[in-house]
Chain A
Amino acid sequence: MAQYAVLIYAQDSAHAPDATPEDTESCNRHSDELVEGGSMVMAFALTPRDMATSISGDAITDGPFVDSKEIVAGFYVIEAPHLDAALEIARLNPVVRDGGGVEIRPVHSSYIRSDKQAAE
């Protein structure tokens, strides 16, 4: 099995600070499905573009790093035996049929702090 990161590209993230459960329902439902299916390794929903701050060199600016129509609205990591299987899972993301899209990248390595380390 290999891990693939799925980057979600959309005009904006549905996960605003004051988002209602209805706003995020379709994203969450899809995420739940992947968790139940056993392919989800980790997932992060990001806040909208207005919340983004970028740094390049000495300059700090308001907004996403790349000024484009779509931004990375979130990302998750799935486990799949090969690229075709990963693509099959990733294309189920509702954003694909909703004007946005996803980018799939093989994961090289990862680190997540465990709860034990956090407590120390």
Chain B
Amino acid sequence: MTDVAAVEAAITDAHRSDWAGMLAATVRVARDLDLAEECVQEAYASAMRSWVDTGIPDKPAAWLTTAAKRRAIDAIRHDRALRSRLPLLLEPEEALEEATMQELSHGFAEDPRGAVPDDRLRLIFTCCHPALAQEAQVALTLRLVCGVPAPDIARAFLVSETTMAARITRAKKKISTARIPYRVPRPAELPDRLRAVLAVIHLLFTAGHTAPSGASLVRPELVDRAIRLARMLGQLMPDEVEVRGLLALLLATDARRATRVDSDGRLLQLKDQDRSQWDRAALAEADDIILGCLRSGPPGRYVLQAAIASLYAQAPSYEQTDWPQIVALYDKLLDVWPSPVVAINRVVPLAMVAGPETALAELGKLERDGRLSGYQYLPAVKADLLTRLGRTRQAAAAYQQALALAANETERAFLTAQIAKGRAPND
């Protein structure tokens, strides 16, 4: 008998580090996402039972994958029709089955999961296929690539469990009906398709970094999932500079996690954060990655964003930040990614270089542009600039506008406090 707690720990560990590879390898055999998912889940359940009796195997992931694949083969033998209905893979079925059987009887060659290195990539690219709505891409990635149970995904995005389950079911149905292929895109398609994958990971991160609503500012589980995904993608596609850039961006941004709120959960601005508490190891890793990326050619969107986040973090104090260099990086970023959100972010360092008056004029242009009318950070930045110019009444009005658009409780509390602060000396 093995200690139940030890078995549980081993299973949790295997789930965290190997779910994607396990599912991807099982999809190969099952040729169907639902069936593969079921088989992997059953494999975990059976591990719980048998590891208590027989002890934890040397290679838990290999054990689990074998168990899941065996179940898939059994299921297919019992229902051949199912397989022909859902031709998720492009390889001829017979060759595949034979290879799998050989694997199962002779053990695995180099990769303990028996997955060709591409398998997890195929899974990721299928989940992030542009024929699926982005919210479905996000949900599928969490469910299938990260193994997060659907109810947990529902909680993370504040929708009901039924809504989330329906969203995932609909997406899977489209994958099988429209025959979205389980494959890595060809080089010609890769840039577009990779952009979609990176966007999903980035969206997961931002949803965790500043929760779109609710009481707490950060949803650490989403942030950690996003970072782990970016890391995995980086290992699978080591030549893609933007993948590494994204990882660096997430690391450099998340390094400040512990200091973004004070001990009472109140939001702290960058200038008020305790820099000694920043995660130096994460910042150093981000910095290393960025330097490597910058050496391999003209930087793309994520590398530039990472470079900005890293430069902000390198300054010994807020006042000593290299503002002109940050503005220069934002200019480059606007060249490769002309987004109005980037233009707003640029206004903040611009105020430090050219003064709040100039920054306010720049912001006015963006306001008239109209594309960001529902974006809470526009009035928030405006309010901050107005405060610095001593125009408190206008600042209060802008803070009110931001408050009306903010749904996260921590941010709302911050904005409310700013309004009160502005009122105090005048009233």
How does the 8 Å CB contact mask read for B148-183 relative to A, with 1 for contact and 0 for none?
Answer: 000000000000000000000000000001111101
Residues 77-117 (chain A) with a chain B CB within 8 angstroms: 81-85, 87, 106
Q: Taking CB as reference atom, which chain A residue is nearest B182? A: A82
Q: Taking CB as reference atom, which chain B residue is nearest A2? A: B179
For the complex, what is the distance from the CA of A85 to the CA of B189, rounded to whole Å? Answer: 12
User: What's the least CB distance linking A61 to chain B, in Å?
Assistant: 33
Are the CB atoms of A82 and B180 closer together than 8 Å?
yes
How does the 8 Å CB contact mask read for A38-74 relative to B, with 1 for contact and 0 for none?
Answer: 0000000000000000000000000000000000000
Residues in chain B near residue A81, CB distance under 8 A = 90, 179, 181
User: What's the least CB distance linking B46 to chain A, in Å?
Assistant: 33
For the complex, what is the distance from the CA of A82 to the CA of B90, rounded to whole Å? Answer: 9
Q: Taking CB as reference atom, which chain B residue is nearest A87? A: B131
Are the CB atoms of A84 and B178 closer together than 8 Å?
no
Interface residue B422 (Cβ < 8 Å from any Cβ of A)? no
Are the CB atoms of A83 and B180 closer together than 8 Å?
yes
Residues in chain B near residue A106, CB distance under 8 A = 177-179
User: What's the least CB distance linking A27 to chain B, in Å?
Assistant: 25
Are the CB atoms of A84 and B181 closer together than 8 Å?
yes
Residues in chain A near residue B90, CB distance under 8 A = 81-82
User: What's the least CB distance linking A95 to chain B, in Å?
Assistant: 19
Are the CB atoms of A84 and B177 closer together than 8 Å?
no
Chain B at the A interface: SS class? loop
Residues in chain A near residue B131, CB distance under 8 A = 83, 87
Interface residue B300 (Cβ < 8 Å from any Cβ of A)? no
How does the 8 Å CB contact mask read for B178-194 relative to A, with 1 for contact and 0 for none?
Answer: 11110101000100000
For the complex, what is the distance from the CA of A82 to the CA of B181, rounded to whole Å? Answer: 6
Q: Taking CB as reference atom, which chain A residue is nearest B180? A: A83
Number of chain B interface residues as a range: 10 to 19
User: What's the least CB distance linking B87 to chain A, in Å?
Assistant: 8
User: What's the least CB distance linking B390 to chain A, in Å?
Assistant: 50
Q: Taking CB as reference atom, which chain A residue is nearest B183? A: A84
Q: Taking CB as reference atom, which chain A residue is nearest B129? A: A83
Residues 83-142 (chain B) with a chain A CB within 8 angstroms: 90, 129, 131
User: What's the least CB distance linking A42 to chain B, in Å?
Assistant: 19
Q: Taking CB as reference atom, which chain B residue is nearest A88? A: B189
For the complex, what is the distance from the CA of A83 to the CA of B180, rounded to whole Å? Answer: 5
Residues in chain B near residue A87, CB distance under 8 A = 131
User: What's the least CB distance linking A70 to chain B, in Å?
Assistant: 20
For the complex, what is the distance from the CA of A87 to the CA of B130, rounded to whole Å? Answer: 11
Residues in chain A near residue B129, CB distance under 8 A = 83
Residues in chain B near residue A2, CB distance under 8 A = 179
Residues in chain A near residue B189, CB distance under 8 A = 84
Residues in chain B near residue A82, CB distance under 8 A = 90, 179-181
User: What's the least CB distance linking A58 to chain B, in Å?
Assistant: 35
User: What's the least CB distance linking A18 to chain B, in Å?
Assistant: 39
Q: Taking CB as reference atom, which chain B residue is nearest A105? A: B178
Are the CB atoms of B178 and A83 closer together than 8 Å?
yes
Q: Taking CB as reference atom, which chain A residue is nearest B188? A: A88
Q: Which of B90, B178, B185, B189 has the most CB of A within 10 A?
A: B178
Q: Which of A2, A84, A85, A106 has the most CB of B within 10 A?
A: A84
User: What's the least CB distance linking B27 to chain A, in Å?
Assistant: 15
For the complex, what is the distance from the CA of A8 to the CA of B129, rounded to whole Å? Answer: 22
Residues in chain A near residue B180, CB distance under 8 A = 82-84
User: What's the least CB distance linking A117 to chain B, in Å?
Assistant: 30
Q: Could you give 18 example pairs across A and B, Cβ below 8 Å?
A: A2-B179, A81-B90, A81-B181, A82-B90, A82-B179, A82-B180, A82-B181, A83-B129, A83-B131, A83-B179, A83-B180, A83-B181, A84-B180, A84-B185, A84-B189, A85-B181, A87-B131, A106-B177
**Which residues of A does B touch, CB under 8 Å?**
2, 81-85, 87, 106
**Which residues of B does A touch, CB under 8 Å?**
90, 129, 131, 177-181, 183, 185, 189
User: Sorted from nearest, which 6 A-B pairs have the closest CB atoms?
Assistant: A82-B181, A82-B179, A83-B178, A83-B180, A106-B178, A83-B179
12 new A-B contacts at CB < 8 Å, known A83-B129, A83-B131: A81-B179, A82-B90, A82-B181, A83-B178, A83-B179, A83-B181, A84-B181, A84-B183, A85-B181, A87-B131, A106-B177, A106-B178
